[in-house]
Amino acid sequence: MKRYIDIESRSLSGERHLSRLQTSAWSDIFCEAKEGALDFGKSPGSESSPTGHAVSVPDCTNSFSGISAMPYGLRKRLARLAASSSYLQSVPGSDLDPDAVCSALRELLRHLLRLERDRDDALLAVRVRDEKAQDQKAQLAERDDLIGHLQANQRKLEEDNKVLMERIMDIQSNLSHQESATNHAMKERDALQSNINDLQKRLAHLEMESKQLQERLTISRMHAVKSNDECRLIRRALEDSESRVNAAEVARRNLETEFQRQRNTLTDRSVELEIVGRLTQNELYALLISPTLIAMLVESGVFLCVQTANARLDGTLKDLSAAENRISELNCTVERLTQMCSRNAMTESEAKDQAERLTARVNELQHENTEMHERLAVLQRQLTASDHENRILKERNENTQNSLYECKNQLQQMHDRIQKLQAELGAGDLQRSELETQNRQLHNQISDQDNVQKDLCQQLLTLRCNKENAMEKISDLTKSNTECEKEKAELEVELKQQKSEMQQLKKTLERVGSLPTKNETWSVTASRCLVSWVLIARNFT
């Protein structure tokens, strides 16, 4: 199409150039015709009659304004004919009609224009047909190239299909190996499940122990709380008793001050009485007679004050003795409360120690519980990973089977789908890339499984070595046990023999009673032998 458009544009530009050249040629023809007419001394628009008058000739150049195509020789001839017609008009005695000549020329020109147009149309049709033929040839060549390319692609696809079939066979063999590996993994998973069940049982047992310890810890905490409450109550009682003691001490001090003040007043009164007693009868009489002294004595109320002071002194002494008794009682209660506080502190410290021990035990159990949970989590992760791998392997197996089925269908429908090879080639490339990625993933998984199998083989070898070492130790222990049993049996036999010999010795000693020294020596040796044999028997047992 692009070539065809280029050819059309070139043809249009050529036609435009031709039309420009033709218009320029026609302008040259008319200029030549006018110049020829002027050579005869006549203008092309006006002619003189034979009588000398000017004859009007129609201008034929206006009829040539729409002409677009005419050969150069024909144009020259027409120009000459036009010039000769104008010349003949100027010649006297000519019988030609200029209007008929102009009309004939017009018809001739129109006929020529039609012929030129037909020729141009035919040339254009020929050009278009040639261009179409060239385009068809180019399309045929392109189609031949396309067919060759498609045939090459078909060959490549056949080769790729062969390679894919080989890969499919390899994938099937790998799948069989993977199925065996999955069976082995299932067995390992069952073993891991049994281990997990054992660990779960152990974990449940540990949780029961932790619950029991938690209950004990709560009981100990309750006892500690009770002891703390008791200590608080005792402290409050002690504070109350201390406040009471302080109040009693303050009251005692107040009473002592009051007692001291009363004592001072009594001393003052006693001094006054002594002064009065030292006076003579006359002085007393005189003093008694004096009304001022009597008034002073009455006003002062010395005697009454003395009596009241004595009564108050007795009351204060009684209150003081009661306060001292109460202080002694309060001191006893304070000592008793301090002893109770010390006992409660001892019990509280013991409860705290017990609580700390229980918390340490609970922490240990929690640590063991966390370790067991971590082990269970690891085992569960391994189980989930194995399940996930099994699912992935099953999905890949299904995908490979589906891809095999699709490949077979593609091989059967390959000859019918030549027109859709490009789309199928893209799909085949995508499938090939997916299969390559799957193959890589399978190879990676196979390498991972090989590594896991190697690790498991190493673990099995280590377990076998440990088992052999344990069996050797067990065999050595059994041998040593059998040897010990043999030695024990021999020692028991020897003990029986020694006992029989001792009985015989005792009998001989009883018979031989006349020799005391010999009997004593025999008894000493026999006792030593008995002690040594008893010690040997104890050590072996």
What is the tens place of the pLDDT at every residue in 256-302? 787 777 678 777 767 776 775 565 444 544 544 445 544 454 445 54
371 and 353 share one domain: yes
Question: Any idea which of 93-97, 155-159, 249-253, 463-467 has the lowest mean pLDDT?
Answer: 93-97
523 and 424 share one domain: yes
pLDDT band, residue 47 (cuts 50/70/90): very low
Task: Tell me whether residue 151 is in a domain.
Answer: yes
What is the reported pLDDT for 287? 47
pLDDT band, residue 346 (cuts 50/70/90): confident
227 and 313 share one domain: yes
Task: Tell me whether residue 161 is in a domain.
Answer: no
The CA distance from 22 to 28, in Å, is 10
Query: What is the arithmetic mean of pLDDT over 42-65?
Result: 38
pLDDT band, residue 424 (cuts 50/70/90): low
pLDDT band, residue 113 (cuts 50/70/90): confident
Higher-confidence position of 361 and 180: 180
CA–chain centroid gap for 526, Å, is 86
What is the reported pLDDT for 312? 67
pLDDT band, residue 388 (cuts 50/70/90): confident
Query: What is the arithmetic mean of pLDDT over 320-349?
Result: 74
| CB-count burial class (<10 Å; 0-12, 13-18, 19+) for 60 | buried
143 and 292 share one domain: no
What's the one-letter identity of residue 227?
S
Q: Assess contact for 37 and 44: CB atoms under 8 A.
A: yes
Picking from 384, 412, 440, the residue at the C-terminal end of a domain is 412
The CA distance from 459 to 306, in Å, is 114
Task: Tell me whether residue 162 is in a domain.
Answer: no
350 and 497 share one domain: no
Question: For the packed helices 516-540 and 421-511, what is the interaxial angle rounded to 10 degrees?
Answer: 170
- Average pLDDT of every residue of the chain: 67
Question: For the packed helices 421-511 and 98-278, what is the interaxial angle rounded to 10 degrees?
Answer: 30
User: Total structural domains in the chain?
Assistant: 3
Residue 279's domain comprises: 178-412
Task: Tell me whether residue 165 is in a domain.
Answer: no
71 and 197 share one domain: no
The CA distance from 480 to 486, in Å, is 10
Picking from 102, 124, 156, the residue at the C-terminal end of a domain is 156
pLDDT (tens digit, 9 = 90+) per residue, 71-92? 445 455 455 544 444 444 444 4
pLDDT band, residue 61 (cuts 50/70/90): very low
407 and 430 share one domain: no
The CA distance from 446 to 438, in Å, is 12
Which residues have a Cβ under 8 Å from the Cβ of 182 and sit 6 or more positions away? Answer: 389, 390, 393
What's the one-letter identity of residue 389?
E
What is the reported pLDDT for 283? 52
Phi and psi torsions of 73, nearest 5°: -65, -40
What is the reported pLDDT for 433? 67
Query: What is the arithmetic mean of pLDDT over 381-392?
Result: 76
Looking at the chain, how many residues does it have? 541
341 and 474 share one domain: no
- pTM beyond cutoff 0.85: no
Phi and psi torsions of 40, nearest 5°: -80, 5
**Closest C-alpha among 136, 73, 58 to residue 103:** 58
Picking from 377, 412, 447, the residue at the C-terminal end of a domain is 412
Q: How far is CA 243 from CA 237, 255, 327, 336, in A?
A: 10, 18, 12, 16
Task: Tell me whether residue 167 is in a domain.
Answer: no
Phi and psi torsions of 54, nearest 5°: -80, 130
